[in-house]
Protein backbone atom coordinates (compact mmCIF):
# COMPACT_ATOMS: atom_id res chain seq x y z
CA UNK A 1 0.00 0.00 0.00
CA UNK A 2 2.80 2.39 0.74
CA UNK A 3 3.98 2.41 -2.88
CA UNK A 4 0.43 3.04 -4.06
CA UNK A 5 0.14 5.89 -1.55
CA UNK A 6 3.27 7.46 -3.06
CA UNK A 7 1.72 7.21 -6.53
CA UNK A 8 -1.64 8.44 -5.32
CA UNK A 9 -0.16 11.54 -3.73
CA UNK A 10 2.28 12.28 -6.51
CA UNK A 11 2.23 15.76 -7.90
CA UNK A 12 4.85 17.95 -9.46
CA UNK A 13 6.38 20.83 -7.59
CA UNK A 14 6.89 23.70 -10.06
CA UNK A 15 10.61 24.26 -10.54
CA UNK A 16 10.40 27.88 -9.31
CA UNK A 17 9.29 26.48 -5.92
CA UNK A 18 12.32 24.19 -5.64
CA UNK A 19 15.30 25.22 -3.57
CA UNK A 20 18.17 23.90 -1.48
CA UNK A 21 18.81 21.31 -0.23
CA UNK A 22 18.80 18.97 -3.17
CA UNK A 23 19.82 15.33 -3.09
CA UNK A 24 23.45 14.84 -2.10
CA UNK A 25 25.80 12.57 -4.04
CA UNK A 26 24.74 9.41 -2.20
CA UNK A 27 21.05 10.21 -2.55
CA UNK A 28 21.51 10.98 -6.24
CA UNK A 29 23.29 7.69 -6.79
CA UNK A 30 20.43 5.86 -5.07
CA UNK A 31 17.83 7.76 -7.07
CA UNK A 32 19.49 7.20 -10.43
CA UNK A 33 20.14 3.54 -9.67
CA UNK A 34 16.48 3.01 -8.76
CA UNK A 35 15.35 4.87 -11.89
CA UNK A 36 17.38 2.53 -14.09
CA UNK A 37 15.17 -0.39 -13.01
CA UNK A 38 12.62 0.49 -15.65
CA UNK A 39 11.20 -2.00 -18.11
CA UNK A 40 13.60 -2.10 -21.05
CA UNK A 41 12.76 -4.27 -24.05
CA UNK A 42 15.96 -5.88 -25.31
CA UNK A 43 17.95 -4.73 -22.26
CA UNK A 44 19.43 -1.95 -24.35
CA UNK A 45 19.54 0.67 -21.58
CA UNK A 46 18.93 3.23 -24.33
CA UNK A 47 19.20 6.25 -22.08
CA UNK A 48 21.73 8.13 -19.99
CA UNK A 49 21.82 10.89 -17.38
CA UNK A 50 23.45 14.29 -17.52
CA UNK A 51 23.60 16.12 -14.18
CA UNK A 52 23.34 19.90 -14.23
CA UNK A 53 24.32 21.27 -10.84
CA UNK A 54 25.98 24.25 -9.18
CA UNK A 55 27.33 26.97 -11.47
CA UNK A 56 26.61 24.90 -14.60
CA UNK A 57 22.92 25.80 -14.15
CA UNK A 58 23.46 29.53 -14.68
CA UNK A 59 25.79 28.87 -17.62
CA UNK A 60 23.06 26.85 -19.30
CA UNK A 61 20.54 29.62 -18.62
CA UNK A 62 22.86 32.18 -20.24
CA UNK A 63 23.23 29.91 -23.26
CA UNK A 64 19.47 29.63 -23.58
CA UNK A 65 19.04 33.40 -23.45
CA UNK A 66 21.79 33.93 -26.03
CA UNK A 67 20.32 31.29 -28.33
CA UNK A 68 16.80 32.71 -27.93
CA UNK A 69 18.10 36.14 -28.91
CA UNK A 70 19.91 34.68 -31.92
CA UNK A 71 16.71 32.95 -33.05
CA UNK A 72 14.57 36.02 -32.44
CA UNK A 73 16.47 39.31 -32.14
CA UNK A 74 13.17 40.92 -31.08
CA UNK A 75 12.69 38.56 -28.12
CA UNK A 76 11.36 40.43 -25.11
CA UNK A 77 13.54 41.14 -22.09
CA UNK A 78 11.05 39.18 -19.97
CA UNK A 79 11.32 36.11 -22.21
CA UNK A 80 15.11 36.27 -22.16
CA UNK A 81 15.12 36.66 -18.39
CA UNK A 82 12.86 33.62 -18.08
CA UNK A 83 15.29 31.57 -20.15
CA UNK A 84 18.21 32.87 -18.11
CA UNK A 85 16.53 31.79 -14.87
CA UNK A 86 15.12 28.43 -16.00
CA UNK A 87 17.78 26.33 -14.33
CA UNK A 88 18.53 28.58 -11.36
CA UNK A 89 15.81 27.34 -9.00
CA UNK A 90 16.21 23.62 -8.34
CA UNK A 91 19.65 22.68 -7.01
CA UNK A 92 19.80 19.53 -9.14
CA UNK A 93 18.58 19.00 -12.67
CA UNK A 94 18.86 15.54 -14.16
CA UNK A 95 18.66 15.64 -17.94
CA UNK A 96 17.41 12.27 -19.15
CA UNK A 97 18.80 11.58 -22.60
CA UNK A 98 17.49 8.94 -24.95
CA UNK A 99 20.25 7.19 -26.84
CA UNK A 100 18.18 4.88 -29.06
CA UNK A 101 19.78 2.00 -30.88
CA UNK A 102 18.61 2.49 -34.44
CA UNK A 103 17.98 -0.47 -36.70
CA UNK A 104 17.43 -2.77 -33.73
CA UNK A 105 14.45 -5.12 -33.73
CA UNK A 106 13.11 -3.25 -30.70
CA UNK A 107 11.38 -0.22 -32.25
CA UNK A 108 12.79 3.17 -31.34
CA UNK A 109 9.43 4.19 -29.88
CA UNK A 110 9.76 1.43 -27.28
CA UNK A 111 13.23 2.60 -26.41
CA UNK A 112 11.93 6.16 -25.98
CA UNK A 113 9.12 4.92 -23.76
CA UNK A 114 11.67 3.18 -21.56
CA UNK A 115 13.40 6.55 -21.21
CA UNK A 116 10.08 8.18 -20.35
CA UNK A 117 9.66 5.60 -17.62
CA UNK A 118 13.10 6.61 -16.30
CA UNK A 119 11.84 10.20 -16.07
CA UNK A 120 8.75 9.16 -14.14
CA UNK A 121 10.75 6.88 -11.86
CA UNK A 122 12.96 9.85 -11.00
CA UNK A 123 9.89 11.92 -10.09
CA UNK A 124 8.50 9.16 -7.91
CA UNK A 125 11.84 8.40 -6.30
CA UNK A 126 12.55 12.05 -5.56
CA UNK A 127 9.15 12.43 -3.93
CA UNK A 128 9.61 9.23 -1.93
CA UNK A 129 12.89 10.70 -0.62
CA UNK A 130 11.04 13.82 0.53
CA UNK A 131 12.09 16.07 -2.34
CA UNK A 132 9.93 17.90 -4.83
CA UNK A 133 10.47 17.47 -8.54
CA UNK A 134 9.18 18.53 -11.93
CA UNK A 135 9.66 17.10 -15.42
CA UNK A 136 10.20 19.91 -17.90
CA UNK A 137 11.24 20.12 -21.50
CA UNK A 138 10.66 23.57 -23.02
CA UNK A 139 12.01 24.70 -26.37
CA UNK A 140 15.61 24.07 -25.39
CA UNK A 141 15.00 20.33 -25.25
CA UNK A 142 14.40 20.42 -29.01
CA UNK A 143 17.05 22.90 -30.09
CA UNK A 144 19.95 21.01 -31.67
CA UNK A 145 22.43 23.78 -30.95
CA UNK A 146 21.63 23.76 -27.23
CA UNK A 147 21.67 19.97 -27.27
CA UNK A 148 25.05 19.85 -29.01
CA UNK A 149 26.37 22.17 -26.30
CA UNK A 150 25.16 19.63 -23.74
CA UNK A 151 27.08 16.92 -25.55
CA UNK A 152 24.19 15.13 -27.21
CA UNK A 153 25.00 13.21 -30.37
CA UNK A 154 22.70 13.85 -33.36
CA UNK A 155 20.77 10.60 -32.80
CA UNK A 156 20.14 11.39 -29.13
CA UNK A 157 17.09 13.17 -27.74
CA UNK A 158 16.47 15.05 -24.55
CA UNK A 159 13.46 13.43 -22.91
CA UNK A 160 13.27 15.75 -19.97
CA UNK A 161 14.98 17.98 -17.50
CA UNK A 162 14.00 16.59 -14.10
CA UNK A 163 14.32 19.45 -11.62
CA UNK A 164 14.80 18.21 -8.06
CA UNK A 165 15.00 20.10 -4.78
CA UNK A 166 13.18 20.99 -1.61
CA UNK A 167 9.71 22.50 -1.99
CA UNK A 168 9.51 26.02 -0.57
CA UNK A 169 5.71 26.00 -0.67
CA UNK A 170 2.96 23.47 -1.09
CA UNK A 171 2.62 22.48 -4.71
CA UNK A 172 -0.69 23.36 -6.31
CA UNK A 173 -2.96 20.43 -7.16
CA UNK A 174 -4.64 20.33 -10.53
CA UNK A 175 -7.79 18.72 -11.84
CA UNK A 176 -7.10 15.05 -12.59
CA UNK A 177 -8.85 13.03 -15.27
CA UNK A 178 -11.98 11.13 -14.25
CA UNK A 179 -11.29 7.41 -14.33
CA UNK A 180 -14.77 6.71 -15.70
CA UNK A 181 -13.94 8.76 -18.81
CA UNK A 182 -10.78 6.79 -19.40
CA UNK A 183 -11.74 3.19 -18.74
CA UNK A 184 -13.81 0.74 -20.65
CA UNK A 185 -14.04 -3.02 -20.66
CA UNK A 186 -13.36 -4.61 -24.01
CA UNK A 187 -16.42 -6.70 -24.85
CA UNK A 188 -15.84 -8.40 -28.16
C1 LIG B 1 7.48 15.13 -21.43
C2 LIG B 1 6.94 16.21 -20.56
C3 LIG B 1 7.40 17.51 -20.72
C4 LIG B 1 6.90 18.55 -19.95
N5 LIG B 1 7.36 19.81 -20.14
C6 LIG B 1 6.80 20.83 -19.48
C7 LIG B 1 7.25 22.16 -19.71
O8 LIG B 1 8.15 22.40 -20.52
N9 LIG B 1 6.63 23.15 -19.04
C10 LIG B 1 5.61 22.91 -18.14
O11 LIG B 1 5.09 23.85 -17.56
N12 LIG B 1 5.20 21.64 -17.87
C13 LIG B 1 5.76 20.61 -18.51
N14 LIG B 1 5.35 19.34 -18.26
C15 LIG B 1 4.30 19.11 -17.25
C16 LIG B 1 4.84 18.99 -15.82
O17 LIG B 1 5.84 18.03 -15.75
C18 LIG B 1 3.75 18.58 -14.82
O19 LIG B 1 3.10 17.44 -15.27
C20 LIG B 1 2.78 19.69 -14.60
O21 LIG B 1 3.45 20.70 -13.90
C22 LIG B 1 1.53 19.23 -13.81
O23 LIG B 1 1.89 18.67 -12.60
P24 LIG B 1 1.54 17.17 -12.17
O25 LIG B 1 2.69 16.34 -12.57
O26 LIG B 1 1.35 17.25 -10.69
O27 LIG B 1 0.29 16.81 -12.87
C28 LIG B 1 5.89 18.28 -18.98
C29 LIG B 1 5.45 16.95 -18.80
C30 LIG B 1 5.96 15.94 -19.57
C31 LIG B 1 5.45 14.52 -19.36
Q: Is residue 73 part of a domain?
A: no
CATH number, domain of 123, equals: 3.40.109.10
Ligand 1 pocket by Cβ (under 6 Å)? 11-12, 134-138, 160, 174
Q: Is residue 141 part of a domain?
A: yes
Q: Is residue 83 part of a domain?
A: no
Residues 92, 22 contacting (CB under 8 angstroms): yes
Q: Is residue 5 part of a domain?
A: no
Q: Is residue 29 part of a domain?
A: yes
Angle at alpha carbon of residue 163, lines to 42 and 25, rounded to 5°: 80
CA-nearest residue for atom 19, ligand 1, is 12
Q: Is residue 35 part of a domain?
A: yes
- The Å distance, Cα 54 to ligand 1 centre, comes to 23
Handedness of CA 160, 162, 168, 170 (dihedral sign): positive
Q: Is residue 70 part of a domain?
A: no
- Whole-angstrom Cα distance, residue 50 to residue 68? 22
Handedness of CA 141, 145, 150, 152 (dihedral sign): positive
Which residues constitute the domain of residue 152?
12-54+88-169
CA-nearest residue for atom 23, ligand 1, is 12
- The Å distance, Cα 62 to ligand 1 centre, comes to 23
Pure H helices in the chain: 2-8, 25-35, 56-71, 77-85, 108-128, 144-149, 179-182
Q: Is residue 67 part of a domain?
A: no
Number of domains in the chain: 1
- The Å distance, Cα 7 to ligand 1 centre, comes to 16
Q: What does the pLDDT profile of the chain (188 residues) look like in tens digits? A: 678 888 888 999 999 999 999 999 999 999 999 999 999 999 999 999 999 999 999 999 999 999 999 999 999 999 999 999 999 999 999 999 999 999 999 999 999 999 999 999 999 999 999 999 999 999 999 999 999 999 999 999 999 999 999 999 999 899 999 999 999 999 99
Amino acid sequence: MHALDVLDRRRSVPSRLLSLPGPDDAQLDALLTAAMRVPDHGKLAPWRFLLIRGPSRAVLGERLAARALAIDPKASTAALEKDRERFNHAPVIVAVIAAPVEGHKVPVVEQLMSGGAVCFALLQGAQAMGFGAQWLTGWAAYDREILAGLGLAPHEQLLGFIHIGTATAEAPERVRPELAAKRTDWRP
